[in-house]
C-alpha cells in the first residue's frame, strides 16, 4: 500500500483558503479625496487593509459617473460601498430628506456629534429603511454648516425673489426649500455648477464652506451668507446582498472600519470648515461674509415650517422619522457637552 504525503495537500488547501478570504472591494464617493467623504473613505480603506488581506479601490467623484449613476451601480452590486450626500439620496430614499429640511438640524457641532452617535433615527430606523432599498447603512455624518453664495447681498426671502439658485438634483425638499425662501430653484449636477455661475445661468448656490473654498466658488460669486438653515451631511452604505454574503468576521471588520472612519471625520470635518473660511478671508479679502441676525433667521424659519410640514405629510414613514428626529435633537441639545 502506497503512503501519500498529505502535508503538501494540507498546505495547498490552507493557501487556497487564505486566498479566498482576500477580496478587492470598490468604494465610490461623491467628492474629492481631500474632501470630507474622501477623508472618511481613506480612513475606511486604511482600517480594512491594515486589519485584513482585503483591499479597497477608491473611486472619487466623476470616476464612475454622476451621483445617480453611483447609486444605481451600488444597488446593482457593481460597487460594494457608496459615499453620498444625503441631499442626493432623497430621490431614492425619501426619508433621507429629513437631513435636508431647513432649520431642523442644529449648527452646533457638539450637538451634531451627540446626535449622530446616539440618534434612534440614524441607528435604529434608517437602517431598516435602507435594507428595503437594497442597501446596508454604515454611517451618516456632518460635513459642515451650509452657506449660500450669491452675487448680491440678501437679508430676507424678499431679497431672493426670482433669484435662480442651484440645488442638488434628486431632492424635492431642496426645491421646496428655495421656493419657500423666495428663490427659483434650479436642480443641477455639480459638474455643471461652475459653468452656470460663470455664465449667469444661476444667481447662487449652497454648500459647506470647505467646498466653497476648495473649488473656488468664492471667486465666482461676491457674497457668502450663513443663514443657519442646516448642515451638509453624507451617508455611507454597502450593497445589502454583498454585505449579507460576508462572513461574520468580515462583517465585524466592515462595522469596525465604519466606526473608525466615523470618529476620524467627526474631528476632521470641523477643522476643514474652519480652515476653509480662514483661507477665503486670507486669499479673497474683498469677498463679503454675512451672518444673518437672529431676527433675520426667524423670518426664514417661518418660511421653513411649510417645508417641514410637507415632508411629514408625504408618508407615514416620514411622519414617524420627523417625530423621532425631534426627540433625538432635544436629547442632543440637553446632553451635548
pTM as predicted = 0.86
Q: In the prediction, which pLDDT does 171 show?
A: 78
pLDDT for the residue numbered 20: 47
Closest to 183 measured CA to CA, from 231, 244, 227, 239: 227
Decide if pLDDT at 90 tops 90.
no
- pLDDT for the residue 37: 94
Cα–Cα distance for residue pair 115/121, rounded to 1 Å: 9
Q: Is residue 128 part of a domain?
A: yes
Rg of the chain taking only CA atoms, in angstroms: 22
Instruction: Classify residue 4: in a domain, yes or no.
Output: no
* Domain assignment present for 47: yes
According to the model, what pLDDT value does residue 112 have? 87
Residues 2-32: tens digit of each pLDDT: 444 544 444 444 444 444 468 999 999 999 8
Say if 106 falls within a structural domain.
yes
Q: Is 90 exceeded by the pLDDT of residue 285?
A: yes
- The residue written with cell numbers 476632521 in the block is 268
**Domain assignment of residue 178, yes or no:** yes
**Which of these, 9, 70, 29, 101, lies nearest to 311 by C-alpha position?**
101
Average pLDDT over residues 270-294: 92
* Greater pLDDT, 258 or 88: 258
Work out the pLDDT band at 88, boundaries 50, 70, 90. Answer: confident
- Report if residue 124 sits inside a domain: yes
With respect to residue 12, please indicate whether it lies within any of the assigned structural domains.
Answer: no
Mean pLDDT of the chain: 91
pLDDT per residue as tens digits for the range 153-211? 999 999 999 999 999 887 789 999 999 999 999 999 888 999 999 999 999 999 999 88
pLDDT attached to residue 5: 53
- Where would I find the H helices in the chain? 7-20, 36-50, 67-75, 86-89, 109-118, 120, 126-132, 172-180, 190-199, 209-214, 217-220, 240-244, 248-283, 294-313, 316-335
**CATH code of the domain covering residue 118:** 3.40.190.170
Reported as a single tens digit per residue, the pLDDT across 300-311 is 999 999 999 999
The answer to whether residue 304 is domain-embedded is yes
Domain that holds residue 265: 24-335
Digit-coded pLDDT (tens) for 58-77: 999 889 988 889 999 999 99
* Number of domains the chain is built from: 1
107-111, 117-121, 259-263, range with the lowest pLDDT: 107-111
Amino acid at each position: 500500500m502506497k503512503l501519500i504525503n498529505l502535508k503538501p495537500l494540507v498546505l495547498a488547501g490552507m493557501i487556497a483558503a487564505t486566498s479566498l478570504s482576500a477580496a478587492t472591494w470598490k468604494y465610490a464617493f461623491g467628492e474629492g479625496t481631500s474632501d470630507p467623504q474622501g477623508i472618511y473613505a481613506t480612513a475606511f480603506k486604511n482600517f480594512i487593509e491594515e486589519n485584513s488581506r482585503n483591499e479597497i479601490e477608491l473611486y472619487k467623484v466623476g470616476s464612475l459617473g454622476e451621483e445617480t449613476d453611483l447609486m444605481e451601480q451600488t444597488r446593482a452590486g457593481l460597487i460594494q460601498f457608496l459615499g453620498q450626500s444625503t441631499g442626493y439620496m432623497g430621490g431614492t430614499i425619501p426619508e433621507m430628506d429629513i437631513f435636508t429640511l431647513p432649520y431642523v438640524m442644529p449648527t452646533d457641532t457638539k450637538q451634531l456629534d451627540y446626535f449622530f452617535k446616539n440618534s434612534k433615527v440614524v441607528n435604529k430606523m434608517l437602517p431598516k429603511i435602507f435594507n428595503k432599498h437594497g442597501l446596508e447603512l454604515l454611517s451618516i455624518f456632518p460635513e459642515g454648516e451650509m452657506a449660500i453664495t450669491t452675487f448680491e447681498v440678501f437679508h430676507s426671502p424678499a431679497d431672493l425673489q426670482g433669484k435662480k439658485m442651484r440645488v442638488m438634483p434628486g431632492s424635492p425638499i431642496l426645491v421646496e426649500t428655495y421656493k419657500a425662501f423666495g428663490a427659483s430653484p434650479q436642480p443641477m449636477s455639480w459638474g455643471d455648477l461652475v459653468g452656470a455661475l460663470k455664465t449667469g445661468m444661476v444667481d447662487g448656490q449652497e454648500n459647506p464652506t470647505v467646498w466653497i473654498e476648495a473649488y473656488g466658488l468664492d471667486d465666482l460669486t461676491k457674497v457668502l451668507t450663513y443663514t443657519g438653515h442646516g448642515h451638509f451631511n453624507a451617508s455611507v452604505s454597502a450593497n445589502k446582498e454583498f454585505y449579507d454574503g460576508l462572513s461574520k468576521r468580515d462583517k465585524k471588520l466592515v462595522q469596525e472600519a465604519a466606526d473608525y472612519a466615523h470618529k476620524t471625520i467627526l474631528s476632521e470635518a470641523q477643522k476643514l470648515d474652519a480652515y476653509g473660511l480662514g483661507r477665503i478671508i486670507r486669499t479673497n479679502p474683498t469677498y463679503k461674509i454675512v451672518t444673518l441676525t437672529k431676527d433675520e433667521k426667524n423670518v426664514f424659519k417661518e418660511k421653513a415650517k411649510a417645508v417641514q410640514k410637507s415632508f411629514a405629510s408625504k408618508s407615514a414613514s416620514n411622519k414617524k422619522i420627523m417625530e423621532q428626529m425631534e426627540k433625538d435633537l432635544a436629547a442632543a441639545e440637553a446632553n451635548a457637552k
